[in-house]
Chain A
Amino acid sequence: MKAKKKLLIALAGQPNVGKSTVFNILTGLSQHVGNWPGKTVEKKEGIHVSDNVEMRLVDLPGTYMLTAFSEEEKVARDFIINDCPDVIVLIASAASLEKNLYLLSELLLLGPPVIVGVNMLDVAEGQGIHIDTDALMKSLRIPVIPMVATKNEGIKELVSEIISLTNGKMEYNPPIPEVSEDHKAIFARLMELVGEHISTPYKTQWIVTKLMEGDPDISKMMEGILPLDKWNEIQRILMDHEDSLLAVVRGKYNWIKDMTRASISHFRKGQILMTDRIDQVLTRPILGIPILLGVLALIFFLTYKIGVPLQGGIENLISSFAKWIEPALYGTPAWISGMLIDGVIGGAGSVLTFLPILVIFFALMVFLEDVGYMARAAFVMDRFMHIIGLHGKSFLPMFLGFGCNVPAVLGARIIESRRARLLTILLIPFVPCTARLAVLTFVASAVFGERATIFSWPIVATNILALGVVGIIASRFFLKGEPTPFIMELPLYHKPNLKTIGITVWKRTTAFVKRAGTVILGFSILLWFMSNFPGRRIEDSILGWLGRLVEPLGTPMGLDWKMMLALLSSFIAKENSIATLGIVYEVGGEGLRNVLPGVMSHASALSFLVVMMLFIPCAATVVVMRQEMGSWKWFLFSIIIMLLVFFVSGIITYNLALFLGI
């Protein structure tokens, strides 16, 4: 048997070109999602096997270009330079081909052969744009594949083109973009200066282009490599020609114009597109903001309407599973069965029961993202986000935070500047997640009965207010600096692609279970030990001792040691606080719902809820916060801020409630 030929394929493309659709078709569920080593950028790869060829596909982050100004672009270009893929597949959108070829102009300079997949031909036709892919192939002199990935068209051709290109049966010698005419002399001089000092994997032409663009990383690298006199001359040339970046850009666009002259034709001009019609409504502030609020409300309505019954079902399943397994544990020491049933099953259970709500919330969010609405939400929120020193893009991860803070913190990766990303992560824990909202709903309805809503809404509003105040203060005094400008493409609206949505939801959910699940499970077991040792009753345990230790802190907030314990246990998973309340108030068969009104005064309950909503987020969130912030300093800073906020709000709420006689 012949050994399989192995290929390394990089999938590149600007955002909104249907790249992930192509990646999903090619790799299906063989995908593996991880991190680029040492970076907070997601790395997706997968395997595609065809005709004895095994292709390892690496999905590069969707970027407009390959500069050093964002982490994602650096990751993409470093991968191409250092790992030297056999083929780069560039997915381009037929609806905005010129702009897409900008990325191609960067890729061609790097060396590995490129295949262009011109995707979304159907969308382009619908807008009166016709792309002649044969003509494009003739001028680019690289393989060009016409594609409609959503209908599976062009995928096979793409794969066979990859194989024949790597067989070396094809001539590959594309014209490469040059700088604009007025800067050719400088370019030649720079080539001379650096030429002999460049070694593989770098290409001289690419290095010179990047120097002219003012790329900070390459400039630094060259400063280290070149002899001082040469470096000084380069610096002098670049200083004298401040517009060399524009010369590079103009050169690229001249090249793009040449390449596309024969292949793009517009056959229906002046029509108003569906996207623009929808945007007439959605981006108009007077309508856009109420619509956004409506969408938010609808998401919560659907999440709870469908999610809560499912959650109840899973809860029942888990408790019957625990009952079913109990007899099997007879004869084992009490602490083993206790740990297994209350620690392991209980811990895993709290993750599982949370899943339906999370999956539905994720699905709705991914749906909105896929059809193109999320960029409009960011646009509409931009003005508000400026108040807290951020811009519209930060709204997207925060929005996700209403579902779960863990993916929200991870989602902050879309923000380019480190300052804005830190600030966003700092603020996300103030967004009330579904777990906290569930505790709020439960306790409020138990204690306040019919008046629960009157008390719940102001509590949620308090969270948003705290987010605002912390944001204003942190952005003015701690994370100062000029905010990076808001620049965001508003993609064309399109029909949702169920496969893409399905795979994204699946990936996010499994990532959540992996990350949050293990942390929650570990802490649940720890909590079980702490509440059962050294004495079996909670009062005699480490946890009871801890509760009484922190009780003095609870007094000004109107919380006794039992409530403080419930608060502390919410660190493992927010919904744990309900279970803990059940244990410490020894409710037994009576039901927590009936016991709570008797043991919690209204003022204490109110204070407890405010504090619970603002307390340190769950362990899983804290872990990813530390990881994504990449700095102990800011991590500790955010923990201190949260402790301060929760403590002060607790005292204010309790005393205000007493004063008002609630």
Chain B
Amino acid sequence: MSEKKELKEKDRGLNKNLLLLSSLREGEEGTVYSMSGKRGMTNRLAAMGLVPGTKIKVLRNSWGPVIVLSSNTRVAIGKGQACKILIVRDQKTSAEEK
């Protein structure tokens, strides 16, 4: 368990593309890495198509909830919950904006 946590932190240090969903910019794409928070929420997000491994695209992230597109479903996620989801950002999209 604690080993896993360490691993996660190491990952974050190594990979600057591992970001909170709430800090992705509009138009950026990525893959869900992990989700924390209450079980009910994890389950709900899973049923809406968001599980570790799903490809997502951020459609809106400004004033208010984040809108995420995954497998043709648009889901608005409150900022609080968006801070509990880790995303591996695609190199391609992050390179584009540079």
Binding site for B on A (CB under 8 A): 14, 64-65, 67, 69, 95-96, 98-99, 102-103, 127, 129, 213-214, 242, 245-246, 249-250, 252-253, 275-276, 279, 283-285, 375, 378-380, 382-383, 391-392, 485-491
Contact = CB atoms under 8 A, between A and B. Distances in A.
Given A285-B64, A490-B74, A485 B43 contact: no
Contacts of A488: 75-76
Nearest to A66: B47
Binding site secondary structure of chain A: helix
A392 B65 contact: yes
A117 B78 CA distance: 32
Interface in B35-59: 37, 39-49, 51-53, 59
A487 B75 contact: yes
B51 to A, nearest CB: 5
Contact of B49 (A102, A129, A250, A382): A102
Interface of B: 1, 37, 39-49, 51-53, 59-60, 62-65, 67, 69, 71-78, 80-81
A13 to B, nearest CB: 12
Contact of B71 (A96, A214, A279, A487): A96
B39 A487 contact: no
Contacts of B1: 242
Binding site secondary structure of chain B: mixed
Given A64-B48, A250-B51, A279 B67 contact: yes
Nearest to A99: B49
Contacts of A487: 41, 44-45, 48, 75-78, 81
B98 to A, nearest CB: 21
Contacts of A253: 46, 51, 53
Contacts of A392: 65, 76
Contacts of A64: 44, 47-48
Contacts of A485: 37, 41, 77-78, 80-81
A69 B40 contact: yes
10 contacts: A64-B48, A65-B46, A96-B49, A96-B73, A246-B42, A284-B60, A379-B67, A486-B65, A486-B81, A491-B74
A275 B74 CA distance: 10
B63 to A, nearest CB: 4
Contact of B44 (A65, A127, A380): A65
B58 to A, nearest CB: 12
A279 B26 CA distance: 13
A239 B55 CA distance: 30
Contact of A249 (B51, B77, B78): B51
B40 A249 contact: no
A99 B73 contact: yes
Contacts of B60: 279, 283-284
A489 B75 contact: yes
Nearest to B69: A276
A514 to B, nearest CB: 34
A99 B67 contact: no
Given A279-B59, A391-B78, 9 more contacts: A65-B44, A65-B46, A67-B44, A99-B48, A102-B46, A213-B43, A279-B60, A379-B67, A487-B44
A584 to B, nearest CB: 49
A486 B76 CA distance: 7
A246 B43 CA distance: 8
Contacts of B77: 485-487
A99 B69 CA distance: 12
B8 to A, nearest CB: 13
